[in-house]
Amino acid sequence: NAGVMQNPRHLVRRRGQEARLRCSPMKGHSHVYWYRQLPEEGLKFMVYLQKENIIDESGMPKERFSAEFPKEGPSILRIQQVVRGDSAAYFCASSPRTESIQYFGAGTRLSVL
> Which residues contribute to the site for other proteins (CB under 8 A)?
31, 33, 35, 42-45, 48, 55-56, 89, 91, 95, 98-107, 109
- The number of residues in the chain equals 113
In the complex, minimum distance from the CB of residue 26 to other proteins, in angstroms, rounded to a whole number: 12
In the complex, minimum distance from the CB of residue 83 to other proteins, in angstroms, rounded to a whole number: 22
Tell me the DSSP string of 9-72: SEEEE-TT--EEEEEEPPTT--EEEEEEE-TTS-EEEEEEEETTEEEE-TTS-SSSEEEE--SS
In the complex, minimum distance from the CB of residue 103 to other proteins, in angstroms, rounded to a whole number: 6
